Structure 1
Amino acid sequence: MDDPLRTTSSHMSRRAIMARYFNLCAPVGHAGVPLPQDLYSGNQNKLCCSADGKAFRHVILTGKKDDQEQASDVILNLPIEIKTLITSHLSQHDLVNLARVSRSFYDAAMFSLYENVVIDSDYSFLNDPLRDTGEKVTFIKTRYNLKKFMQLIRENSDTPFPMGMLVRSFKVINLPDGISRNEVRSFIYDSIPNLTRLSSFYWKTNSSVLPLSLLDVLPNKEEITTLAFNVDLGKTTSFTSNAFPSLTKISLAPFVNSQNLSAFFESILLSEGETIEKLETLQLASELPSVLHKPSGNVSSAQCLVITKYMMDNNLQQPNTSESDRFIVYNQIDCGFWSFLNAIAKKGKRFESLKILDIHSANFLSTDSNEVCNIVNLKNLRTLCLSNINEIQFLPDVDYEVHDVSNLALRYMKPSFLEGLLPNLRQLTKLKLDYRESMKDTVCEFIGALQTKANISLRELDIVIHWDDSKEAVWSSWETLAERYIAAILLHKKTLRKLSLIATEDSKFYELHKTIPANMLRSLKDCRHLQSLRLHGESLHPSGHLLLSEFPDLHYLDLVGKEAGGPPHMGLQVVHDGVLDNWYRVIHVAITLAQGNPSLKFVRVDKCLFECGRSGNVSPKLDNLKNWFEKKMRVVVSADDF
C-alpha cells in the first residue's frame, strides 16, 4: 500500500513544499527541502507551530490548512508594492538570500537590491550599524563584483526586462584597486546607457576623471535630479547643449578655469528655463583633492592677495624683500570665478531654492558679493562651505609702482566678501570657512555678526584660522586674533553641536600648525551641548583631559597632528611596524580621555581611531571608518547629501 504522505506530496513542486511547510526549527534535507517530522525525533526538533509535533503530518494527510498556512499564503500573494515595502528594510545579503529561496518575493527583492547601488572599496558590512542615513543601499566592494555588475547591466540590455531598469541611484565613491581605464571607459559607454530609469548619478572618486562625452550617453536626462561627477573640462571651452530639466543637485570638479565653468553652466543649466530656480545643492571645485600641485591660477600665500592696477598692467610681482619659491604672474591669476553668474543674469534668472553651497579652491574678489547677492537667493541657504578660498583685494585706483603694499592696502582696502553676504543670510545652520585674507581677518567678525546682527545660531562650525606676517599690519599679536575667534564662537554656545577649530601659519614654502593658547581653549567649556569636537592635539597639552571632561554630551573627539598623543612611545619603535603599532603608541591617550568623559563613543588621535566602551576601555578601529568619522567631525557635503 502506498504511503499517503508520498501520494499527497507527489504532485507538489519542491518550491511549493518549501513555501507551505518550511519552518526554521525543521532540519533541512536534500536540495533544501525540509525533512518530514516522521524522520526525526527529539524535543529540540519539534515544529514551532505545534506543541506535540503532529501538525506537520496532519496537514499533509488531510490537506487542510491551519492558521499559519493561511497566513503564509496571504504573505506570498501580497501585491508587489507591499512586498517591495517589506524588502526595502532588508540588507543586501538578506535580499540575495530571499531571491534565492522565494519565487514569490524574487521580483521585490531585485527591485530593492538594485535600486540604490554604491561602489565603495572601503565598505565593510561590519560597519553597517554606524550608517545613519536611513537609506538601504547595495554596496559593491571588489573589482570582481564590479565587473560582474557591469556585465549584468550590459548583457541584459536586450531582454524583455533588463536589470538596468531597476537602478535609480548610482554612486561611485572609491573604485576598487585594479580597475583599469579601459574598464572604466567600457562601463561608461556600454553599461551606463542601459540605466534607463536613472535619477541620481554620483561619481566623485579621486582616482579618475570622466570624459565630457559622459553627458551625451547619460540616459533619462528628463528625470535626473542629481548630477555629481569629476569631469575633464580642461581641453575645451565649448560644450554641447545637454538639458537636465529636473536637476536639483549638481557637483562639478575640476572646472580648471572660470571660462570653462561659465560655458559648462550655460550648456547645462540655461538650456532649460526652470533648472536654475529648482537647484538646491551647488558644489564646485577647481581641483581634485588627490592633485598634489596647485594650478598656477591659484594663490597660496596671503602676502600675494593685494593687487594694484599697475601690477596687472605690467605683469609684475608684488614688492617683497623675502625670497619666493615661485614667480607670481598676476595676469595668470583667475579672479573670475563668479563670472558664470553673468549669463544667468542676462536671462533674468536666479538661484531661488539654493540650500547648500560648497566652493573649494577658488579666488574671490571682495566686490563679488554684490553680484552673488543679486543672483543667489541666500535667504534659503542652510549650509555654506568655503574651502581653500583666497580673497584678493584689487586696487584699480593705484596706477603707479609702490614699495609698501601694507600701508597702501590699509588706505584702499574694501569691505570683504563675507561682509557683503551677511545681510542676506537668514537660515544658515552649518558653516565651514577655510578662508585667506591679506592683513585683515574678517572671518571672526563674520561668525560673531551672524548672531549679533542676523540673529543666526549655528549648529555646526568648521573653521581654519590663517595667520601670516601680513596680519601684523592690523592685529597686534596672534593671541589677540585667537581671542577674537573664541569670543565669536561662544556667541553660538547655546546651539552649537559640532565644532572644528584648527589654526595654521602660512608661509611661502609651507603651512605650520599655530598653537591656540590653552587658557582660551578652556573657554570652550561653555559650549555645553557639543557632541563633536575637533582640535589640534598639541594645543591641549598637558591638561586637555580636564577640559574635555567638561562636555557632558561629547560623543566624538578628534585630536589632530602628529604630536596629538604627546611624545612618541619609544618602547614600541621597532624596525618594521605591525598592523596596530601606531594605535598602541597612543592608546593610553584614548583610555585617559574615555575614562575622564564616559559619554565619548569614538576618539581619534592623529590618524588612529578608537571606539570607547562604557567602562573606559577602548578598542582600535581600522581605516575603513575614515569617511564616516570625517562626516561626524567636520562640515562636509558628501555623497549622503546627493
Structure 2
Amino acid sequence: MLKPRSGTQETYSFNSPVGYAKKPLLPSLIHSSSQEKVEFHPHVKPKRIRLDTLPFEVRAKIANELSQFDCLNLLRTNKAMYMSTMPRLYQHIVIDENYSQFNKEIPFKYYENPEKTRPDYRKEHSCTFVKSSYNFRRLLTHYIQLYDTKFKYCEPSNIPTGSFPYIKTLKCLELPDSLNTYDHELNDQISEFFTTLVHLRELIWLNDNFRLEYLGSLPNTSSIRTLVLNIKFSNYLSELSSEPPEHSDTESISSVSSSKPLTFANITNFQIRPFQNSTRLQRIINNLLVGENSAQVSQNLRVLKIARFDKDVNVLVPPCGELVSPNSDSLSDLDLHTIRAVSESKLEYLANLQVLSLNNCLVSASDADLLLKSVNLKNLKTLELKNVSEYQRVTQAAVHEGIEDSFLTRICDHIGQLEHLALDFREAYTDTVWLFLSNLKSEVLKSLDLILRYNSTKLEQFSVDGLYQCYGQALVSGTKKDTVTKLSIEIKQENQFCDLIIPLPSNHFYRELSQFKQLSALRINPNVSHDCHEVLQMVESLPRLKYLDVFGAQAGGAPNLGLGMVHPTIYDDWFKVQHVAIMYFHHNSQLNYIRINRCVFERKDEVVPRDGLDAWFSQLVRVGYNVEM
C-alpha cells in the first residue's frame, strides 16, 4: 500500500516533468516490486559508473557490440577505452569497395565455432570494412607502424593476449579501382604487412592481384585455418610448367615464394582458383596445401573447392557433340584428369570432408571410382558440381542403345545426408541428373541449386516435354518438398557458341513448386509472356517465402521507358520494374525482398528500391555463393 505523500513532495512531483535529457524517466519510479514508495531526492546526485573503470574483458565485450564507426568515437575518449577497443577494430578486416554502411542487411558481426567438441558453441566477433584506396593504404601503413613500435616488443609482457590488435581474419573481396595493383611499392608494402599477421586464422583474397610470395611472408602458417585464394596473376603460375605429373613434386613452392617451406598443418578450408589444368592442380595441392603434413592435412580438411577458371564461365568447354567418342584420340586436347590429379596427389583419404566443389571440370564415369577412393562421400554436407562436363568413350551403336552408366549414377548410392546441393552437369545423348535427384537418399536436403540443360544430342533420346516431366517428378521425390528451404531452378539450351536461358514453361514445374511449403528463398525464370496467373498462384501458395529472385527477359514485364528521363537516375532500372515487385508483394504478404534481374526491392510501408545488395541476396538464394564455405 502506497504511503501518503506530504504536500511539498506532491507539489514538487506535479510541477517537475520527467523524460527529457536533464531528467530522464527512471523505471524504478514507475515499476516497483514491493509497491512501496520510492524515496526520491532531487538534490542528491546518482552514483555514476565509468566505462574505463570496468574490467578489460567487459570493455572489450562492449566494443564488440559496436560498429566500427562507434568504436572510433569510443577509443578517442581515454587511454583505457583505446586499449580495449583497438582489438575489435583489427580482429576481422574486410576489404570491399562495394560495401555501404547504409545497407544494414550486411552484418558487421560474424560467428565461428572455435571448438570441435562443442558444435553448438559459436564465438561472436565484429569486423571492420575498408572500401577506399586511402583507407586501404592507411591500414597497411598504420598497422605496420603499430606492430613495429608496440606489439612486436610487448607480447611477452603480462598484458592479456586479447588486448593486442592482432588481425585474425583478412578478407579481400574486391580492391578499390583506384589502386594500381601493379605498383611495386604497393606490393612491397603488402608483403611487409603480411609479416605482421602473427595470429592470422582466415585468409580470403578474391581479388586477382594476389601473389604467392605473400604466403611466404606469413610468420605463422600453422595458425591458418581457412585459405581462399585467387591466383590468376600469381608469379607462382609461371613456375607451374606443364610437365608430367610424376615430376610435379620436384620443385617446391618454397623455392618460389620463400626460403622456408610453407606448411599449413591445421588448415580446414582450402579454396583455390584458377588451377587451369590438372598438372598444375596436382602441384598446387602437393606444394601449397599438403607440404610435409599429408596425414594431418587430410584428417583436418573440411572444405575443398577447386575451379579451373577465375570466373564462373563456360566459354572454353567443349561442345556437347565432342563429349562422346569411341576412342581417346579426339579427346587428346581436353584436360580429363582433374579428379585423378586429386586422387594421385599427396592427399590421403579425406574421411572428414564436408564440402566438395568442382567448378568447370571434365569428368568421366571411371572418375567416380577415383573419387570414392579419395573422399568419404557419406560425410558430405555440401556438394557443388558447377558447369561440370562428362565425357564418354562409347561406340555409336552404344549411343543409340542408350547410355546408362555415368558419373552421377555411380556416386549417388554413396552420398549420405546431404544438406546443400548445386548441380550444373553437362552430358551428351543422355541425362542422368534427374535420375540422380530421384535416387538421392538424403532426408535433410535444405538447399537445391539446379540447372536443367538440354541440347541437340539429348533431344535424340528425349522430348523436351518428357525431360521437363522427369525433372518435375524428381523435384518432389522423397522428402525434398518437406525439407528444402532454398530452391533455384534454371533451364539452359546449349548451342554451339553460347547457352540460351529458357523460361520455365507454363505447363510444367509450377504445380511441383507449389508443394514446397517450407521454402523461404526461391529463384526462377518465370514465363509471363502471355499469362502470369500460374506464377502468381505459385508464389501465393508458399506461406514462408521471404526472398524471391526472378530473372530473365520476361522477369520485369514488357519493356518500358521507366521515368522517361533524358538523363536516367541511379534507380531508373528499378523504376522500370517496380510495378512487378508490387504485384508479387501484393500476392504474398510474407515476402520481404524481391530481386528482378539485378534490381532488389524491400517491403516496408512501401516498396523501396535497394542498391548494393546483389552479392548479399545471391548468398540467400543460391548455393555456393558464400566464400567462407
TM-score range, shorter chain: 0.7 to 0.9
Structure 1 residue aligned with 2:252, among 231, 234, 239?
239
User: Take 1:265 and 1:528, find their aligned partners in 2: how far apart are those partners?
Assistant: 43
Compared with structure 1, are the counterparts of its residues 602 and 637 closer, same or farther at alpha carbon in structure 2 (3 Å cutoff)?
closer
Residue 218 (str. 1) matches residue 198 (str. 2): no
- Paired residue for 2:323? 305
SS at match of 2:483: coil
Contact residue 92 and residue 137 of structure 1 kept, 8 A: yes
- Paired residue for 2:618? 630
- Paired residue for 1:193? 195
User: Take 2:25 and 2:608, find their aligned partners in 1: how far apart are those partners?
Assistant: 43
User: Take 2:519 and 2:141, find their aligned partners in 1: how far apart are those partners?
Assistant: 48
- Paired residue for 2:446? 459
User: Take 1:391 and 1:209, find their aligned partners in 2: how far apart are those partners?
Assistant: 32
User: Take 2:453 and 2:352, find their aligned partners in 1: how far apart are those partners?
Assistant: 32
Equivalenced residues, count: 547
Residue 284 (str. 1) matches residue 306 (str. 2): yes
Residue 620 (str. 1) matches residue 609 (str. 2): yes
Deviation at residue 42 of structure 1 after TM alignment: 11
Residue 368 (str. 1) matches residue 367 (str. 2): yes
Deviation at residue 570 of structure 1 after TM alignment: 4.5
Residue 265 (str. 1) matches residue 285 (str. 2): yes
Compared with structure 1, are the counterparts of its residues 164 and 193 closer, same or farther at alpha carbon in structure 2 (3 Å cutoff)?
farther
Deviation at residue 410 of structure 1 after TM alignment: 4.2
Deviation at residue 105 of structure 1 after TM alignment: 2.3
Structure 2 residue aligned with 1:141, among 125, 131, 143?
131
Deviation at residue 222 of structure 1 after TM alignment: 1.2
Residue 254 (str. 1) matches residue 274 (str. 2): yes
Structure 1 residue aligned with 2:43, among 28, 31, 54?
54
SS at match of 1:469: coil
Deviation at residue 515 of structure 1 after TM alignment: 3.4
User: Take 2:562 and 2:482, find their aligned partners in 1: how far apart are those partners?
Assistant: 44
Contact residue 537 and residue 565 of structure 1 kept, 8 A: no
Contact residue 172 and residue 202 of structure 1 kept, 8 A: yes
* One-letter identity of the residue aligned with 1:357: L
User: Take 1:105 and 1:535, find their aligned partners in 2: how far apart are those partners?
Assistant: 50
Compared with structure 1, are the counterparts of its residues 93 and 460 closer, same or farther at alpha carbon in structure 2 (3 Å cutoff)?
same
- Paired residue for 2:341? 340
**In the TM superposition, what are the counterparts of 1:553-632 in structure 2 within 5 Å?**
553-570=544-561, 572=563, 575-613=566-604, 617-622=606-611, 624-632=612-620
SS at match of 1:194: coil
User: Take 2:476 and 2:353, find their aligned partners in 1: how far apart are those partners?
Assistant: 28
Q: Which stretch shows the higher mean deviation, 599-608 or 237-246? A: 237-246
Structure 1 residue aligned with 2:486, among 480, 498, 517?
498
Deviation at residue 140 of structure 1 after TM alignment: 0.6
Structure 1 residue aligned with 2:416, among 422, 426, 430?
426
Compared with structure 1, are the counterparts of its residues 49 and 552 closer, same or farther at alpha carbon in structure 2 (3 Å cutoff)?
closer
Deviation at residue 47 of structure 1 after TM alignment: 5.7
- Paired residue for 1:35? none
**Which segments of 5 or more consecutive residues in structure 1 lack a partner in the other structure?**
1-40, 57-65, 317-329, 399-404
Q: Which stretch shows the higher mean deviation, 490-499 or 235-244? A: 235-244
Contact residue 618 and residue 625 of structure 2 kept, 8 A: no
User: Take 2:203 and 2:562, find their aligned partners in 1: how far apart are those partners?
Assistant: 50
User: Take 1:539 and 1:357, find their aligned partners in 2: how far apart are those partners?
Assistant: 36
User: Take 2:105 and 2:622, find their aligned partners in 1: how far apart are those partners?
Assistant: 20
Structure 2 residue aligned with 1:473, among 450, 456, 460?
460
Q: 1:143-167, CA deviations, whole angstroms, 9 ceiling, x for partnerless residues?
A: 1111100111222342132599511
- Paired residue for 2:350? 351
- Paired residue for 1:63? none
Deviation at residue 130 of structure 1 after TM alignment: 4.7
* One-letter identity of the residue aligned with 1:493: K
* One-letter identity of the residue aligned with 2:427: E
SS at match of 2:623: coil
User: Take 1:180 and 1:638, find their aligned partners in 2: how far apart are those partners?
Assistant: 27
* One-letter identity of the residue aligned with 1:538: N
Contact residue 417 and residue 445 of structure 2 kept, 8 A: no
Q: Which stretch shows the higher mean deviation, 541-550 or 46-55? A: 46-55
Deviation at residue 563 of structure 1 after TM alignment: 2.1
Contact residue 503 and residue 552 of structure 2 kept, 8 A: no
* One-letter identity of the residue aligned with 1:390: S
* One-letter identity of the residue aligned with 1:247: I
User: Take 2:449 and 2:72, find their aligned partners in 1: how far apart are those partners?
Assistant: 41
* One-letter identity of the residue aligned with 1:473: E
Compared with structure 1, are the counterparts of its residues 382 and 388 closer, same or farther at alpha carbon in structure 2 (3 Å cutoff)?
same
Q: 1:301-322, CA deviations, whole angstroms, 9 ceiling, x for partnerless residues?
A: 222211232xx33xx4xxxxxx
User: Take 2:215 and 2:393, find their aligned partners in 1: how far apart are those partners?
Assistant: 37
Given the two structures, how large is their TM-score scaled by the length of structure 1? 0.80
- Paired residue for 2:524? 535
Residue 228 (str. 1) matches residue 228 (str. 2): yes
Residue 549 (str. 1) matches residue 540 (str. 2): yes
User: Take 2:410 and 2:400, find their aligned partners in 1: how far apart are those partners?
Assistant: 19
Q: 1:48-76, CA deviations, whole angstroms, 9 ceiling, x for partnerless residues?
A: 599776345xxxxxxxxx6x23x43xx53
User: Take 1:583 and 1:341, find their aligned partners in 2: how far apart are those partners?
Assistant: 45
Q: 1:274-293, CA deviations, whole angstroms, 9 ceiling, x for partnerless residues?
A: 11111011111111128x78
CA RMSD of aligned residues (A): 2.5
User: Take 1:438 and 1:234, find their aligned partners in 2: how far apart are those partners?
Assistant: 33
- Paired residue for 2:382? 383
Residue 521 (str. 1) matches residue 534 (str. 2): no
Deviation at residue 412 of structure 1 after TM alignment: 8.0
Residue 109 (str. 1) matches residue 131 (str. 2): no
SS at match of 2:583: helix
- Paired residue for 1:32? none
Structure 1 residue aligned with 2:497, among 509, 512, 534?
509
Deviation at residue 566 of structure 1 after TM alignment: 1.7
Higher helix share: 1
User: Take 2:23 and 2:524, find their aligned partners in 1: how far apart are those partners?
Assistant: 58
Q: 1:162-188, CA deviations, whole angstroms, 9 ceiling, x for partnerless residues?
A: 599511110011111211112652343
* One-letter identity of the residue aligned with 1:498: K
Residue 489 (str. 1) matches residue 491 (str. 2): no
* One-letter identity of the residue aligned with 2:420: K
User: Take 1:45 and 1:364, find their aligned partners in 2: how far apart are those partners?
Assistant: 70
Contact residue 383 and residue 431 of structure 1 kept, 8 A: yes
SS at match of 1:424: coil
User: Take 1:293 and 1:376, find their aligned partners in 2: how far apart are those partners?
Assistant: 26
Compared with structure 1, are the counterparts of its residues 489 and 187 closer, same or farther at alpha carbon in structure 2 (3 Å cutoff)?
farther
**Which segments of 5 or more consecutive residues in structure 2 lack a partner in the other structure?**
1-15, 27-39, 112-124, 153-162, 241-250, 254-260
Compared with structure 1, are the counterparts of its residues 384 and 571 closer, same or farther at alpha carbon in structure 2 (3 Å cutoff)?
closer
User: Take 2:110 and 2:467, find their aligned partners in 1: how far apart are those partners?
Assistant: 38
* One-letter identity of the residue aligned with 2:203: F
Contact residue 87 and residue 165 of structure 2 kept, 8 A: no
User: Take 2:442 and 2:173, find their aligned partners in 1: how far apart are those partners?
Assistant: 37
Given the two structures, how large is their TM-score scaled by the length of structure 2? 0.82
* One-letter identity of the residue aligned with 2:582: I
User: Take 1:42 and 1:534, find their aligned partners in 2: how far apart are those partners?
Assistant: 55
User: Take 1:361 and 1:204, find their aligned partners in 2: how far apart are those partners?
Assistant: 18
Contact residue 367 and residue 417 of structure 1 kept, 8 A: yes
User: Take 2:443 and 2:202, find their aligned partners in 1: how far apart are those partners?
Assistant: 32
Deviation at residue 218 of structure 1 after TM alignment: 2.2
